[in-house]
Amino acid sequence: MIDVINNQAFHLHNDQISYICALLPNGQLGHLYFGPRLSLTKNDLAYLSQGPSPLAWMANFSDDQEFALGDAQQEYPVYGTGDFRQGSLSVTQDDMPIYPNFVFKDDQLTHTKTRDLHHPTSFGNPALTDVLTIHLEDKTAQLLLTLQYTIFADSAAIVRSATLTNQGAAPVMIQRMLSGVLNLPQGRYDVVHLSGNWAKERHIQTQPLTQGTFSVESLRGASSHEQNPFVALHAAGQPFAAGDTYGANLIYSGNFLDSTEVNEWDQTRLLTGIHPASFSWRLDPKTSFTTPETVFSYSSGGLAGLAQANQRFVARHIIDPQWRQKQRPVVLNSWEATYFDLNEKKLLKLAALGKQVGVDCFVLDDGWFGTRDNDLSSLGDWFTNKHKFPDGLGHFAQEIHAMGLQFGLWFEPEMGSPRSQFFQAHPNWVVRPKKGRISITRNQYVLDFSNPAVVNNIFEQMQKVITETNLDYVKWDLNRSITEAFSPYLEKIGHPQGEFFHRYVQGVYTLYQKLLTAFPHLLIEGCAGGGGRFDLGILFYSPQIWTSDDSDAIERLAIQSGTALAYPLSCMSNHVTAVPNEQVGRSTPLVTRFRVAAFGILGYELDLTKLDARTLATIKAQIAYYHALQPLVLKGDFSLLLPRQSNGQNQVAWLLSAHDRKHLVLGFFRVLADADSRTVQYMKVPLAKSDTPYWVNQHTGPISGDVLQRVGVRLPVQFNGANRAQAQLIGDYQSALLTFDSVASLDHSESQQTDADKQTVAH
């Protein structure tokens, strides 16, 4: 999958894409192409290679007067060398800037990309993996730059990272070091990003690129609710499911920068990596610094095609393989049922009802530890609250396991309360300066995870609880951003404070590594006040993340649509909660809440003790249906037919399909009733196989896949003010699940549903 041509050019390719880089006239590494697979000849390579620069007065960073870097497409550009666009690297020594001239030294091809819990990276089977390592050197500055490229046979993506090695005798300071850069020869793109706020995460935002710079970023210490490390460039003017589209996503959980620049010649440069505004790193002699990996993806099928490419890549090369096939538990979470007002008797009654309706795991949320009766105390004190659990948490866990349920616990490992034994014993283990004001959010401090002693202490506390309870599941929360960033530990060991944010994230990864090494089958669900740290770095360790604290079904249509542009359904944790919804006060039908949540990992956060027998029976049928559906969620293909975008359209449609296209499920959601709705409406089903007949909802048809592709499936009849007798959808917040089974695969004798099951999936 990697061809080296005349020791001058490198062609990375598989059946889907090609990526080509080659040496520039000055010996640096340039970029030639990224897009659909090319069959490259020597003449093609010569044709694609850089021609003379358009303006003679451009600064020449070589002896060739016909060549300059100002418009060159470089693989790892350095600002200040005649290229006035943003660069990937900035280095100083004794406060003096260095302008490295990295020229080609050698290259290496390997096939090993293993999963290593110490750092989140992509990984793959050696038979499907090619890794290109290119060394570039500046002998004068005594710096070695190593660029690593990975391509997998089954993914439309290139993974990149960079390593800088100080070969000199004196330290240098890295002020800026990004993970990768993507150069495109023209600038006619719309930039698509996932933005929002707490309880409104990852809404799809689109705006045209023009000459200048556009960026999305986080400086909060985490990838954040407000922005996400994923961006896409979509060919301007093209519909959602058409046009060349490029994606970039960082395998990182801290401060990040995605910056897109269009220059005066309509060339586009996309850079991504650690945010330089909060970063510096002292590179001592004979040491190296390696950036997080970034993933560049491509699709000719617009944003819809790019979403599928991203989902496949993450499922195959980021998420722990054990969770690709293993059933994920349907959880019952205690939070909205009890909040802090919990005791063993109340919780056991709730868990017993959960077992009755078919949940797999009971999760005890906040309030089980220390003296925690509200959010004013006890973070950092990870030992049992004996007032609430007089016989110990181990005994309570035994009771849950005896019911045949898995047991889960909530932790917020990175935080400490001022009112806690932990803080009283270790006041210097929190992030805060020695002088001046200190912000406190949600009555808690951030622990200094750049300090290994802090990470070890929290691990030892968690390890004891996990062992005592034989724990199956951890919900790992993070409920505030980092302010007044200062590490007493870094000051003590003489390291620059500019290293803090990156070392903090490394500390988070270290705790994950310790937990999963000690308990390799522990399911850890990521959470950060909901979706405030939803990124590839966390997904490397946590196969699923709580998608948002906003569990309202209608709000989730936009949140889950945006999330699906970059991440698979199998990582979205979705709960059915009570109405009126706590976050927005909206009341939606139980069936709609379930159908939205079913496109992901299902859970419930209800006080089952307050529900009548009919509602409990409905929930039981929903869970039974979802257990049958989950293999599609984990291993199927997902298509955003009508995503809910920032314009908030009234209809949303999602399509889930098995790889062999023998079974498909379409979710249709209508937000508000419309008196002018057409009586008959069709929705095209692009993942249906044209030569295959399908039964629709097991009783209509068979209908050819060709008709489903080109004409569509008939949607439920919507009430339009005059057709009440025929209408199937009446009122606001309505939904339907439409199933498509190939005639050959549908065995009516084995797939008969109960009346409750039919009600669950009925129009």
Q: What is the pLDDT of residues 310-330, one digit of tens each?
A: 999 999 999 999 999 899 999
Q: How far apart are CA 259 and CA 463, in angstroms?
A: 40
Long-range CB pairs of 60-67 (<8 Å, 24+ gap) are: 61/26, 61/101, 62/25, 62/26, 64/25, 64/26, 67/24, 67/25, 67/26
Output the pLDDT for position 60.
62
Q: How far apart are CA 656 and CA 639, in angstroms?
A: 6
Output the pLDDT for position 610.
97
Closest CA to 500 of 294, 223, 219: 219
Q: How far apart are CA 155 and CA 616, in angstroms?
A: 43
Per-residue pLDDT for 719 more than 50?
A: yes
Q: What is the pLDDT of residues 201-240, one digit of tens each?
A: 999 999 999 999 999 999 999 999 999 999 999 999 999 9
Output the pLDDT for position 748.
45
pLDDT band per the 50, 70, 90 thresholds, residue 763: very low
Per-residue pLDDT for 256 more than 90?
A: yes
Per-residue pLDDT for 762 more than 50?
A: no
Helical (H) or strand (E) element with 713:
strand 713-714
Q: What is the pLDDT of residues 144-202, one digit of tens each?
A: 999 999 999 999 999 999 999 999 999 999 999 999 999 999 889 999 999 999 999 99
Output the pLDDT for position 757.
43
Two structure tokens written together for 453 = 């002693």
Q: How far apart are CA 403 and CA 551, in angstroms?
A: 28
Output the pLDDT for position 54.
56
Helical (H) or strand (E) element with 496:
none
Output the pLDDT for position 746.
67
Closest CA to 668 of 624, 712, 614: 712
Least confident of 57-61, 460-464, 529-533: 57-61
Output the pLDDT for position 80.
85
Output the pLDDT for position 53.
60
**Mean pLDDT over the full length of the chain:** 94
Q: How far apart are CA 400 and CA 469, in angstroms?
A: 10
Higher pLDDT, 244 or 761: 244
Q: How far is CA 230 from the centre of its chain?
A: 8
Q: Buried b / exposed e across 115-149, counting CB within 10 Å, b at 16+? A: eebeebbbbbeeebbbbbebbbbbeebbbbbbbbb
Output the pLDDT for position 756.
39
Output the pLDDT for position 459.
98
Average pLDDT over residues 341-366: 97
Whole-number percent of the chain with pLDDT over 70? 95
Helix (DSSP H) and strand (DSSP E) numbers for the chain: 16, 39
pLDDT band per the 50, 70, 90 thresholds, residue 120: very high
- Which amino acid belongs to residue 382? W
CB-count burial class (<10 Å; 0-12, 13-18, 19+) for 543? buried
Global pTM? 0.95
Q: How far apart are CA 333 and CA 546, in angstroms?
A: 12
Output the pLDDT for position 667.
98
Q: How far is CA 591 from the centre of its chain?
A: 27
Output the pLDDT for position 604.
98
* Secondary structure string (H, E, C) spanning 348-413: HHHHHHHHHHCCCEEEECCCCECCCCCCCECCCCCCECCCCCCCCHHHHHHHHHHCCCEEEEEECC
Two structure tokens written together for 265 = 């010649």
Output the pLDDT for position 52.
56
Output the pLDDT for position 186.
85
Triad 425, 431, 434: Cα angle to 5°: 85
Helices in 269-321 by DSSP H: which ranges? Answer: 302-317
Q: Is the dihedral of CA 220, 225, 229, 231 positive or negative?
A: negative
- The answer to whether 593 touches 760, Cβ cutoff 8 Å, is no
Question: Over the Cα atoms of the chain, what is R_g?
Answer: 27
Closest CA to 728 of 680, 689, 661: 680
Average pLDDT over residues 430-436: 92
Q: How far apart are CA 280 and CA 283, in angstroms?
A: 10
Q: How far apart are CA 454 and CA 447, in angstroms?
A: 7
Output the pLDDT for position 752.
43
Known catalytic residues are 477, 549
Output the pLDDT for position 384.
97
Place of tokens 């062999």: 660
Q: What is the pLDDT of residues 476-486, one digit of tens each?
A: 999 999 999 99
Per-residue pLDDT for 759 more than 90?
A: no
Q: Report the length, in residues, of the chain.
A: 763
Find out whether the peptide bond into 171 is cis, omega within 30 degrees of 0. Answer: no
Two structure tokens written together for 492 = 């003590």
Q: How far apart are CA 117 and CA 123, in angstroms?
A: 11
Q: What is the pLDDT of residues 379-425, one digit of tens each?
A: 999 999 999 999 999 999 999 999 999 999 999 999 999 999 999 99
Greatest mean pLDDT among 57-66, 260-269, 668-677: 260-269
Two structure tokens written together for 564 = 């699906």
pLDDT band per the 50, 70, 90 thresholds, residue 679: low
Least confident of 178-182, 358-362, 503-507, 677-681: 677-681
